[in-house]
Amino acid sequence: MSSVPKKDMKEMITQYEQQNSRRVSEDPWRCGFHLMPVVGWLNDPNGLCHFKGEYHIFFQYAPMFPSDSLKAWGHYSGKDLLHLQYEGAAILPDTAYDQDGAYSGTALVEDGKMYLFYTGNVKRDGDYDYILSGRESNTMLISSEDGINFSEKKCILDNGDYPPDYSCHIRDPKVWRENGRHYLALGGRTKKDKGTVLLYQSVKPGDFEYWELVNEITTEDTFGYMWECPDFFRLNGKMVLSVCPQGLEAEETRFQNVYQSGWFLPEGDIGGEYRLETFTEWDMGFDFYAPQTFVDDKGRTILIGWAGVPDAGFEEPTVERGWVHLLTVPRELTERNGKIYQWPVAELDQMRGEKRNVPEGVWTANPGGRFDWIIQNSKRADFEVWISEELKIAYSGGHVTMEFTGDMGAGRTVRKAECHNLNQMRILADSSILEVYINGGELVMTTRIFPKDMDYKVMLVVNCLVPDTINNSLWYL
């Protein structure tokens, strides 16, 4: 695609989508209520917002993957989160500022306009150092009156504007308004390989073109060499910083994927003196990264993540079927006593059809591979859930484990998280993805699964002699 004249790019993508989306849609591993690319590759959610009565969900999109991995933004929109329409490619890498990728970014809705901020990626060919000088990272701005047609692109920050002690890895703007001022956060990597967030403030209130650096947000000791996709937002009045650190050492019950994604509750003032202490991962499963939040018209703070991880070394089996990756369901966030809970937005309950109780210890059919299963465990008994003979989710000895029985390669065997007093587990299954919410969403584990048989059976095994310890309800979706 890079060699195609830029003006023809949109047309070429549309044509390619028309020619290939039918074949892709016939894949039994396609999902029913998760957002996927119509063809090709998807990664981070981008530009999430509620604008003029509609939800807008953009995403990193490489339609012609694997033959071309150049990133554009794809776009879904709709009046509610259950009925989202694909709107085509929205931001194309078609200028000198973003020729090697319209990378991730966010939306700001203000004065009847949607503003999108993103990273224009430009790779430098030749004898450049990959970390220090191999790319230009342009912070770009476009706006829209209707969410579909966009203004000319403007570059508002470029490599010359970033601090001199930084590598060329600076990206993924988040912009928000607080106390009448606008802030812009960028994820970064210093020349000393420390992950940080650069915090800018608009020079004049209401002006998005001029920004001054006000702070560098990071931990005291190095916590990963690079922080991608920063997001600042308030929950229950408290400031939250969500980031994706790269380069953390794996531990037995933490940091088990190649890159991490989680949150801090910064203490103090992020514009001045602050401290970042505890980092909590958003999701302890195999497939989660680069989440983004937004507030909708009902005042809900909603998070959507990419159900995938970059550089994980796992070749998704859907690639040969013409598509790869998807987004998680929208999760409403709430905060209680310093903990953040994630819960599928309530409107997803409307999908529930026939309800049944899964009897213990016997395989139960699961037509179509789509269900919402809530297991109540009032006496905190140890139990196991089996998804065919392929995946076991077990609560035992103060841990939850998610374990594949076969060898999928790339370290996709087991994920283990600490969990004491498991009183509830909800499994949302959609053909080739499972999202597991524990204790009201205090702990979440997401995984892709590629079952041989799409009507995969499920089984519940309770390891407790006391009768009636566990009740469950499973709805077909």
Decide: 112 and 145 in contact? Cβ < 8 Å.
yes
Q: Which two tokens stand for residue 460?
A: 């519940």
Nearer to ligand FRU, 117 or 233 (CB): 117
Q: Using CB under 6 A, which of 119, 137, 143, 388 touches ligand FRU? A: 119
Least distance from C-beta 203 to ligand FRU, angstroms? Answer: 25
Q: Which two tokens stand for residue 142?
A: 């476009």
Least distance from C-beta 312 to ligand FRU, angstroms? Answer: 11
Lay out the site mask for ligand FRU across 391-410 (x = CB under 6 A, - = otherwise). Answer: --------------------
Residues 282-301 that bind ligand FRU (CB under 6 A): 289-290
Q: Using CB under 6 A, which of 44, 136, 287, 316 touches ligand FRU? A: 44
Q: Using CB under 6 A, which of 21, 77, 104, 196 touches ligand FRU? A: 104
Size of site (CB under 6 A) for ligand FRU: 14
Least distance from C-beta 285 to ligand FRU, angstroms? Answer: 17
Sign of torsion, CA 341 347 348 353?
positive
Q: Which residues are catalytic?
A: 44
Unique residue bearing structure tokens 């933490």: 254
285, burial (CB in 10 Å: exposed 0-12, middle 13-18, buried 19+):
buried
The C-alpha atoms of residue 469 and residue 462 are separated, in whole angstroms, by 8
Beta bridge partners of 171: 187
Residue 98 found at the interface with ligand FRU (CB under 6 A) = no
For 180, the 3-state DSSP assignment is coil
Q: Using CB under 6 A, which of 57, 229, 329, 438 touches ligand FRU? A: 229
Q: Using CB under 6 A, which of 21, 60, 328, 469 touches ligand FRU? A: 60
Q: Using CB under 6 A, which of 29, 55, 97, 103 touches ligand FRU? A: 103
Nearer to ligand FRU, 293 or 377 (CB): 293
Residue 225 found at the interface with ligand FRU (CB under 6 A) = no
Q: Which two tokens stand for residue 345?
A: 């937005």
Residue 137 found at the interface with ligand FRU (CB under 6 A) = no
Nearer to ligand FRU, 261 or 401 (CB): 261
Q: Which two tokens stand for residue 391?
A: 């995946």
Decide: 187 and 244 in contact? Cβ < 8 Å.
yes
What is the CB-side half-sphere exposure of residue 426 using CA atoms within 13 A? 15
CB atoms within 10 A of CB 264: 20
Least distance from C-beta 169 to ligand FRU, angstroms? Answer: 9
Cα 87–chain centre separation: 20
Could you tell me the strand order of the sheet in which 414-418 lies?
414-418, 399-404, 391-396, 382-387, 458-463
Strands (E), 310-407: 323-324, 331-336, 339-344, 355-356, 370-377, 382-387, 391-396, 399-404
Nearer to ligand FRU, 229 or 348 (CB): 229
Residue 416 found at the interface with ligand FRU (CB under 6 A) = no
Residues 169-208 that bind ligand FRU (CB under 6 A): 171-172
Residue 228 found at the interface with ligand FRU (CB under 6 A) = yes
Residue type, 251: E
Q: Using CB under 6 A, which of 42, 56, 58, 71 touches ligand FRU? A: 71
- Please choose, from the candidates 453, 471, 233, 418, the residue with its C-alpha nearest in 3D space to the C-alpha of residue 340: 233
By the criterion CB under 6 A, which residues form the site for ligand FRU?
43-44, 60, 71, 103-104, 119, 171-172, 228-229, 289-290, 310
